[in-house]
Structure formats: C-alpha cells, structure tokens
Amino acid sequence: MRRVITVTVINQSGVLNRVTGLLMKRQFNIESITVGHTEQQGISKMTFIVNVEDQAKIEQLVKQVSKQIDVIKVTDITEKAIVMRELALIKVVAPPNLRPEINSIVEPFRGSIIDMGKNVITYQIVGNPEKIDAFIELIRPYGVKELTRTGATAFVRDAQVKPLPQLSILQ
C-alpha cells in the first residue's frame, strides 16, 4: 500500500535525521520525503510517501514516529481529501525544429519554461506525482538530459467528503 504521511516536528537540528533514521531501522521503504517550515515559527512539516505491506505496518510506522520526542503529530492522510503537489525540473533535448511539437505536449500540463539553451529546454512541472510521471513518460522519447523531482508535499483539504449516511433499509 502506498501511504501519505504528514509529520509535524519541532524544528531542532537533526530532526529529519531522527525520523528517517527511525524509518530505516524499522525497515520502512520511503518513496519520497519533503520538509519545510510551516506557518508556526519553530515548527516544520514533513510529508512522506511510503510503501507498506499492510495496515498493521502503517500503524507501527505512525506509532514509532509519534514516539520521537521532537515529533508533535503524525497523520496518515491517505484516505482523506488532500491536496498533493510535487515539482519537477526536466531538461529535454529540443532542437528548434521539434519545439512546437514538444510545446504541444507541455501545454496541457501547464509546464513552464525555466531555461533555454541552443538545443535543450528546461521545463518546470507542478502537480501530483502521477501527473509528473505521466509527463515524463510522454517527454522521454525526445531525450531527457536531466531530471530532478522535489518529492510530494501535501495537506488535508478544508472540506472533507462526509461518508454517506447509512440508510436503515440497507441494514
């Protein structure tokens, strides 16, 4: 199972190391991880994407990370309505004659051009990780010279979809 976990931490030196070290020690597979400041001073937030076998494993992960003294809150937001974004920079081989064609691929992804050389263009794509995967897939045949991704960051949407009320007739 792929899970999205957010971790609110006190911004002490070494806190990232603590959390990733713990996940390594407990044999959890981190797909991506991002960290940054939050609206509160001294508080940072991490977003992990991890792959686990089952529910028991994810429960262990949440509990073990929560136990860290510098960790304030751990939430598995996978099942919630969330906003998730990742940024990718992709340097593509783009000789002038192919540019219109390439741009027609970039456009629907709302990518922007960050840098341009004689034969290469660097695009920036923002979106959820699947969207970025899809873009890379499409652009790869033109020749990707360099690629870097930030990993996903996420949070829970304000309006959560409420579960439908159970109809007594169905029980």
Partner 1 sequence: MNAQVPLKKQQSATDQEVDQECKASKTGAEIFVESLQNQDVEIIFGYPGGAVLPLYDAIYRNPIKHILARHEQGAIHAAEGYARVSGKPGVVIATSGPGATNLVTGITDAMMDSLPLVVFTGQVATTVVGTDAFQEADIIGITQPITKHNYQVKNVQDLPRIVKEAFHIASTGRKGPVVVDIPKNIANAIFDVDAVQEATINLPGYQPTLHPNYLQIKKAVTLLSQAKQPVVLVGAGVLAADASKELTEFVEKYKFPVVNTLLGLGSIDGDHELFLGMAGMHGTFTANMAINNCDVLLNIGSRFDDRLTGNLKKFAPNAKVIHIDIDPAEIGKNVPTEIPIVADAKEALRSLLEQPFEAQDLTLWHEYLHECQEQYPLWYGEDGDEAIYPQYAVETIHRLTDGEAIITTDVGQHQMWTAQYYQFKKDHHWVTSGGLGTMGFGFPAAIGAQFAHPDQTVISIVGDAGFQMTIQELALLKEFKLPVKIFILNNSCLGMVRQWQETFYEERYSSSLMPVQPDFVKLAEAYGIKGYKVDKVEDVESVFKKAIESDEPVLVDCRVKELTLVNPMVAPGKGLSEMIGVKKG
Binding site for partner 1 (CB under 8 A): 9-10, 13-14, 17-18, 21-22, 25, 56, 59-60, 63-64, 66-72
* C-alpha pair distances (Å), 134 with each of 109, 129, 153, 170: 9, 9, 18, 41
Residues facing 5 on adjacent strands: 48, 76
Q: Which is nearer to partner 1, 7 or 132 (CB)?
A: 7
Separation between Cα atoms, residue 128 and residue 107, nearest integer Å: 16
Tell me how far, at minimum, the Cβ of 50 lies from partner 1, in Å: 16
Q: Which is nearer to partner 1, 22 or 98 (CB)?
A: 22
Q: What's the closest the beta carbon of residue 162 comes to partner 1, in angstroms? A: 25
Alpha helices in the chain (DSSP H): 15-25, 55-67, 99-106, 129-139
Q: Strands (DSSP E) along the chain, which ranges?
A: 2-10, 29-37, 43-51, 71-76, 82-93, 112-116, 120-127, 144-149, 153-156
Residue 68 beta carbon to partner 1: minimum distance, rounded to whole angstroms: 7
Between 44 and 152, name the residue whose CB sits nearer to partner 1.
44
Amino acid letter, 34: T
To the nearest whole angstrom, how small is the minimum distance from the Cβ of residue 38 to partner 1? 14
Nearer of residues 9 and 106 to partner 1, judged by Cβ: 9
Closest distance of CB 60 from partner 1, Å: 6
**20/128 with CB nearer partner 1:** 20
